[in-house]
């Protein structure tokens, strides 16, 4: 029988997070982000954090809540265009920022979880991204060396999970969550539905429980959209 990895709530799940740590936070936009864990980090008022996340949330939601309280020292991310406070802190020099091409960010997290220290990629060659990095040519094309990313804690959110830590993500939430779950020294998974071990179809599992140390069922999740776009049809006269 597998180890039961269930903790009561986000309070218990976030135990051990300290000032100055590096955290990975899964999700894509506002989809599949670990909302309850972020709320607890805000409550704990832990500071000097390095956060690895594709997005920086929006001003009043997701990582934007940590940015509001100046709890993040450095952001390692890809797309940050929806957060005015992030922009203000970056331009004022209050926040250290490492912007990475989206595919490279995903692969750096995956490599960290797979135990691969670095890899070559053509993405970013000839831009600021390549400054100070080793370059080599493969098949006549220049590549830059990117190092793997790992974290003290990885916080992910899944649609369903079981007591052994096996996870199934839904749709877009599958972006970044699976690779970040592999790359944390301690991985915390919050799920919308927690079921007993054995209830999940093994063929449907995206993250095996071996990568997860703590799991809890969250409540009160918001289904937000970063930018709601609707089609306006011109009424016929």
* Residues in contact with 211: Cβ distance below 8 Å, sequence separation at least 6, in sequence order: 113, 165, 181, 182, 187
pTM, entire model:
0.90
List pLDDT tens digits, range 64-80: 899 999 999 999 999 87
Partners of 61 in beta bridges: 58
- What 3-state DSSP class applies to 153? strand
At 228, is the pLDDT very low, low, confident or very high (cuts 50, 70, 90)? low
Report the C-alpha gap between 101 and 123 in whole angstroms: 7
User: Residue ranges per domain, the chain?
Assistant: 17-217
Is residue 96's pLDDT more than 70?
A: yes
Task: Tell me how far apart the alpha carbons of residues 12 and 234 are, in angstroms, rounded to a whole number.
Answer: 53
| Average pLDDT, integer, range 146-160 | 97
Terminal alpha carbon distance of the chain: 69
* Residues 164-220: tens digit of each pLDDT: 999 999 998 899 999 999 999 999 999 999 999 999 999 999 999 999 999 999 988
Q: Which CATH number fits domain 17-217: 3.60.15.10, 3.40.50.970, 3.20.20.80, 3.40.1080.10?
A: 3.40.1080.10
Mean pLDDT of the region 31-50? 95
When mean pLDDT is compared across 87-96, 103-112, 184-193, the lowest value belongs to 87-96
Q: Are 10 and 40 in contact (CB under 8 A)?
A: yes
Sequence-distant (≥ 6) Cβ neighbours of residue 218 within 8 angstroms:
10, 35, 36, 157, 190, 191, 192
């Amino acid at each position: 029988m597998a180890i039961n990895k269930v903790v009561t709530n986000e309070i218990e799940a976030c135990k051990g997070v300290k000032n100055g740590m590096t955290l990975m936070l899964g999700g894509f936009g506002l989809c599949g982000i670990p909302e309850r864990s972020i709320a607890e980090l805000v409550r704990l008022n832990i500071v000097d954090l390095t956060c690895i996340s594709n997005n920086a949330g929006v001003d009043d939601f997701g990582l934007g809540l940590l940015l509001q309280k100046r709890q993040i020292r450095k952001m390692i991310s890809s797309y940050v265009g929806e957060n005015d406070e992030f922009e203000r802190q970056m331009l004022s020099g209050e926040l250290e920022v490492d912007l990475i091409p989206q595919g490279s960010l995903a692969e750096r997290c995956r490599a960290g979880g797979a135990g691969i220290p670095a890899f070559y990629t053509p993405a970013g060659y000839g831009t600021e991204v390549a400054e100070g990095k080793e370059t080599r040519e493969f098949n006549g094309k220049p590549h830059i060396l990117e190092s793997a990313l790992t974290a003290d804690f990885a916080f992910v959110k899944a649609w369903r999970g079981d007591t052994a830590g096996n996870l199934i993500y839904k749709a877009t939430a599958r972006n970044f969550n699976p690779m970040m779950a592999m790359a944390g020294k301690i991985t915390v998974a919050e799920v919308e539905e927690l079921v007993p071990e054995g209830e999940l179809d093994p063929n449907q599992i995206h993250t095996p429980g071996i990568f997860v140390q703590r799991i809890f069922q969250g409540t009160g999740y918001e289904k937000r959209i970063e930018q709601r776009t609707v089609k306006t049809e011109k009424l016929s006269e």
